[in-house]
Amino acid sequence: MERGEFLLKNYGRFEESFSYGEGSTLYSESGNDYIDFTSGIGVSSVGHGSKELISAISEQVSKVIHVSNLYNIKPQEDLAETISKLAGYDLYSFFANSGAEANEAAIKVARKYGESGEKRRYKIITLDNSFHGRTYGSLSATAQTSLHKSFEPMLDGFNYVSDIHDIESAIDDETVAVMLELVKGEGGVKALPKEAVQHLAEELKKRDILLIVDEVQTGVYRTGEFLASNFYDIQPDIITLAKGLAGGVPIGVMATSLKDGFSSGDHGSTFGGNYLSTASALKVLEILENEHNSGDLKRRVQYFDSKLLELLSDFPQLFTETTGVGLMRGLKVNSDIDVIEIVKSGNRERVLTLKSGNNTLRLLPPLNISTEEIDIGFQRLRQGCQNLL
């Protein structure tokens, strides 16, 4: 029988399969060790086998895993308060199970906000090559027509523009929000220019247009700060979080400064914000806040960056520039090179990397990766690159 015979074929899977992990190292079913520069696409933010996270999860599982949101859930309340505290301004949270669901909630809050005033506003502007999820609302917000193929028609009311500098001219009297990734995760790990983002945030505020920042991949210290919004020194009206927040336990958050963004019955989730996911997230944030406040995260970012620059310098045949921020990084690949061949060659040398867009090698290591694991990972990636020359 073919492995995974009863699974739908919507994933192009690599051959590797893992049985356990320690730190930033995964171990295959055959016992080989792999340095993980992917963290499950930015999810395993505190690595694999974290004793602190395991303890917190085990303790919560022994008490209660789930009740519905018909009842008060203490760790959910604590997590909402912690998110607001770490963000640095008042935010009010709705909890879901994924980034796509968090973005769906953001779209609904924005459109409800657009009902106020003399004319209903419902349009949302997003950027080309963005990625906001695969549910219908979030996919409609995703300005990549290749992902829409076979699933049209998309939902009405999303306006795609090619560049951040084009947004203001695209606004009309039906525009209610602008939705951005400050660093495009699936679009080449490209960081938007800081001054342009700050200018846009100010202009939107003047025009009573909401700024939604999709922090599904950039949030939870991935850029070196709790939010990429902190790094850009802006305070969006709505942010969305998911991926690295609970260290691998599914969670999504839509947090907004609009205290009355939802009323009773406007939206909901059966699983969202249950005891297990929010207790896990509280422990992850505790671990990562300590990493940030101690300066360890900053030093790790600087060391990882130095290794990226060495690789860029040593392989001009493959790479043209580094991209991204913090530990959300990329290496732009020469146009005649297939990125996936670099990923596969790295896999053979036992280092895991990702593809972003058409021409970027993406690296998203766990945020607490050790110096030794960084060194080993880059040694293996270097050999993987050498094998292609």
Name the pLDDT band for 184 (thresholds 50, 70, 90).
very high
pLDDT at 264: 94
Give CA separation, 204 vs 101, 111, 138, 201, 240, in Å: 25, 16, 21, 5, 18
CA distance 335 to 359: 7
Adjacent-strand bridge partners of 23: 48
State in words which class domain 64-293 has: alpha beta
Q: Output the CA angle 60-48-346, nearest 5 degrees.
A: 155
User: Judging by beta carbons within 10 Å of its beta carbon (0-12, 13-18, 19+), is residue 144 exposed, middle or buried?
Assistant: middle
| Contact by Cβ (8 Å): 139, 151 | yes
Q: Is it the case that residue 116 has pLDDT exceeding 90?
A: no
Q: What is the pLDDT of residue 96?
A: 98
With CA atoms as reference, report the closest residue to 197 among 230, 223, 152, 151.
Answer: 230
Q: Token digits for 358?
A: 């058409």
Res 1 pLDDT > 80:
no
Segment 98-125 mean pLDDT: 95
Confidence label for 384 from pLDDT (cuts 50, 70 and 90) = very high
Q: pTM for the whole thing?
A: 0.96
What are the C-alpha distances in Å from 270 to residues 22, 66, 95, 201? 32, 10, 10, 34
User: pLDDT digits over 310-359, tens only?
Assistant: 999 999 999 999 999 999 999 999 988 899 999 999 999 999 999 998 89
CA distances from 200 to 184, 234, 236, 289, 310 (A): 17, 10, 11, 29, 35
- Once rounded to an integer, what is the mean pLDDT over residues 263-287? 97
pLDDT band of residue 287 (cuts 50, 70, 90) is very high
In 10 A of CB 361, how many CB atoms?
27
Q: What is the pLDDT of residue 358?
A: 86
Asked whether the predicted pLDDT for residue 26 surpasses 80, the reply is yes
Specify the pLDDT at position 2: 81
DSSP string of 314-378, one letter each residue: H-TTTEEEEEEETTEEEEEEPTTS-HHHHHHHHHHTTEE-EEETTTEEEE---TT--HHHHHHHH
Mean pLDDT of 96-100: 98
Q: What is the pLDDT of residue 158?
A: 97
Q: Distance between CA 280 and CA 273 in Å, rounded?
A: 10
Q: What is the pLDDT of residues 242-255, one digit of tens each?
A: 999 999 999 999 99
Q: Are 126 and 158 in contact (CB under 8 A)?
A: yes
3-class secondary structure, 33: strand
Is 18-49+295-386 in CATH node 3.30.365.10? no
Angstrom distance (rounded) from CA 297 to CA 261: 34
In DSSP terms, 93 is beta-bridged to 255
Question: How far apart are the C-alpha atoms of 359 and 306, rounded to whole Å?
Answer: 21
Q: Could you tell me the CA-to-CA distances from 24 to 326, 352, 368 in Å, in that order?
A: 17, 10, 8
Average the pLDDT over 100-126 and give the result: 95
**In this predicted model, what pLDDT tens digit does every residue of 126-182 receive, in sequence order?**
999 999 999 999 999 999 999 999 999 999 999 999 999 999 999 999 999 999 999
Percent of the chain having pLDDT more than 90? 95
Are the CB atoms for 292 and 77 separated by under 8 Å? no
pLDDT of 117: 80
pLDDT > 90? residue 56 = yes
| Residue-level pLDDT at 332 | 96
Strand-pair partners of 35: 25, 351
Distance CA 173, CA 158 (A): 14
- Please give the sequence-ordered ranges of beta strands (E in DSSP) within 90-171, or none if there are none: 92-96, 123-127, 158-161
Spans of all domains in the chain: 18-49+295-386, 64-293
Least confident of 34-43, 80-89, 197-206, 328-337: 328-337
Contacts of 254 (CB under 8 A, 6+ apart): 93, 94, 96, 102, 103, 105, 106, 109, 238, 239, 240
Single out the residue of 98, 120, 105 nearest to residue 176, CA to CA: 120
Give pLDDT, residue 118.
83
pLDDT at position 3? 86
- The backbone torsions φ and ψ at residue 324, rounded to the nearest 5 degrees and listed phi first, read 90, -175
Region for 222 from its dihedrals, namely left if φ exceeds 0, alpha if ψ lies in -120 to 50, beta otherwise: alpha
Q: Give the model's confidence band at 98: pLDDT under 50 very low, under 70 low, under 90 confident, else very high.
A: very high
